[in-house]
């Protein structure tokens, strides 16, 4: 496997364009390789702009007000055969920040570990759900003509790759059929870790360039396979369709119109001048603005009285025709347009690596944001967090 991708680097390197190698010190490169580690991620997950190149998504300066009705966490949740006081979730599941909104009001807001309301937290794969929102906006603007357009209509560089013949809709649902297995195993020489090294540690080439060498394992549309590369391909489509950077489009079409209180920023796969936004997992924002994103979806795309995202897109992207699990290892969740709908309720989630979550439940008018620092490979903290979200949703 390692030898196979070493050969691929040469092929991809010969076609990568517009990314100059950014000189970084060995010390900084080593910090980038270890930013996920359990002994430092409590700090690195809200210090991304100190570790990687970034590009800023500006706010308008007029914030969408979130009224407050703060209450003590006086409910319980059940997990592991035990009933826990709600406050136990903070330390048991490695929490940096927690916000609960009920009926549009903040009832709980907690920060830990040198964070506060001004801290910018990494989204990881919650960025996939944000990318889905941007796709909906580009569709509404007529920049994307149809979700059934083929990706190569916008990105001809992907002809003769696994993405040749794949539609935008199929990529939104992680059904390109590309031959790829997403793993998060420290030290395992898979494509994801190799691409991260080349693109983010050493800034040698665009992350999405690796998709040009992918082969096909299944016919497009038939097989669900979660892939960060898939969302980066969607980001590439957005760039071409809008003729703007992801940052420019997001600033003008989402962040400013929604009245976010602080700037956000994207992690880049190269120097600030030429690097590309990591749409598969590199957005950063303050906790309240993640809460606003959840509330925006809960309110059918409205920020206060302003329609920011078309209501039809909110419904189409978060309500699957059939609520069914896509992965036998996660029977509680489906996957639809880069969101995670629960199979047994109206709720859906944006989810990110090592415990970044936005939980939206239309049935109880609830949004929960939890920004965490799970140890790599931890398999208990997330299901416990979901048990907490369900209980917080029922909380009166």
Burial, 325: exposed, middle or buried (Cβ in 10 Å; 0-12, 13-18, 19+)?
A: middle
pLDDT for 12 beyond 50: no
Mean pLDDT of 368-384: 97
Full set of structural domains in the chain with CATH: 2-394 (3.40.710.10)
Phi-psi region of 179 (alpha: psi -120 to 50; beta: other; left: phi over 0): beta
Residue 188's pLDDT is what?
57
- pLDDT category at 8 given cuts 50, 70, 90 is very low
pLDDT for 264 beyond 80: yes
pLDDT for 204 beyond 70: yes
The two three-digit tokens of residue 71, written as one number: 């209450």
Residue 273's pLDDT is what?
84
Percent pLDDT > 70 in the chain is 93
| pTM for the predicted model, two decimal places | 0.94
Mean pLDDT of 203-213: 93
Residue 183's pLDDT is what?
80
Nearest CA among 145, 266, 159 for reference residue 207? 266
pLDDT for 64 beyond 90: yes
Quick check: 257 and 306 in contact, CB under 8 A? Answer: yes
Q: What SS3 state is found at 58?
A: coil
Percent pLDDT > 90 in the chain is 89
Residue 298's pLDDT is what?
98
Q: What span, in angstroms and rounded, lies between the C-alpha atoms of 234 and 390?
A: 31
Residue 10's pLDDT is what?
32
Helices marked H in 251-298: 287-298
Q: What is the pLDDT of residues 210-246, one digit of tens each?
A: 999 999 999 999 999 999 999 999 999 999 999 999 9
Mean pLDDT of 250-260: 98
- pLDDT category at 365 given cuts 50, 70, 90 is very high
Phi, psi of 108 (to 5 degrees): -145, 135
Q: What SS3 state is found at 90?
A: helix
Mean pLDDT of 4-20: 37
Quick check: 216 and 146 in contact, CB under 8 A? Answer: no
Residue 391's pLDDT is what?
98
Residue 216's pLDDT is what?
96
Residue 272's pLDDT is what?
81
pLDDT for 38 beyond 80: yes
pLDDT for 102 beyond 80: yes
Quick check: 108 and 73 in contact, CB under 8 A? Answer: yes
Q: What SS3 state is found at 387?
A: helix
Quick check: 358 and 288 in contact, CB under 8 A? Answer: no
Residue 24's pLDDT is what?
85
């Amino acid at each position: 496997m390692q030898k196979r991708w070493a050969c691929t680097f040469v092929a991809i390197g010969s076609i990568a364009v517009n990314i100059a190698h950014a000189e970084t010190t060995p010390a900084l490169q080593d910090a980038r390789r270890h930013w996920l580690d359990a002994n430092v991620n409590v700090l690195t997950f809200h210090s991304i702009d100190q570790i990687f190149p970034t590009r800023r998504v500006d706010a308008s300066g007029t914030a969408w007000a979130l009224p407050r009705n703060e209450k003590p966490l006086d409910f319980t949740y059940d997990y592991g055969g035990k009933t826990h006081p709600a406050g136990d979730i903070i330390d048991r599941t490695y929490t940096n920040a927690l916000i609960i909104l009920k009926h549009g009001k903040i009832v709980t807001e907690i920060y830990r570990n040198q964070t506060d309301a001004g801290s910018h937290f990494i989204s990881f794969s919650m960025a996939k759900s944000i990318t889905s929102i941007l796709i909906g906006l580009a569709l509404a603007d007529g920049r994307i003509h149809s979700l059934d357009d083929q990706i190569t209509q916008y990105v001809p560089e992907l002809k003769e790759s696994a993405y040749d013949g794949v539609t935008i809709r199929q990529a939104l649902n992680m059904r390109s059929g590309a031959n790829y297995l997403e793993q998060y195993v420290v030290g395992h020489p898979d494509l994801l870790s190799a691409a991260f090294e080349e693109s983010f540690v050493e800034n040698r080439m665009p992350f999405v360039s690796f998709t040009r060498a992918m082969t096909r394992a299944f016919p497009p549309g038939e097989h669900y396979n979660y892939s960060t590369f898939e969302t980066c391909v969607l980001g590439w489509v957005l760039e071409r369709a809008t003729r703007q950077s992801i940052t420019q489009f997001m600033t003008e079409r989402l962040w400013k119109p929604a009245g976010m209180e602080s700037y956000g920023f994207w992690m880049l796969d190269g120097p600030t001048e030429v690097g590309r936004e990591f749409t598969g997992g590199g957005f950063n924002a303050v906790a309240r603005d993640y809460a606003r994103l959840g509330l925006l979806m809960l309110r059918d795309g409205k920020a206060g009285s302003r329609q920011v995202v078309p209501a039809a897109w909110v419904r189409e992207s978060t309500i699957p025709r059939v609520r069914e699990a896509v992965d036998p290892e996660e029977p509680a969740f489906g996957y639809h347009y880069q969101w995670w709908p629960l199979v047994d309720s109206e709720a859906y989630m944006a989810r990110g690596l090592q415990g970044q979550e936005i939980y939206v439940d239309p049935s109880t008018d609830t949004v929960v944001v939890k920004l965490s620092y799970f140890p790599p490979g931890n398999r208990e903290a997330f299901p416990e967090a979901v048990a907490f979200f369900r209980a917080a949703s029922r909380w009166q």
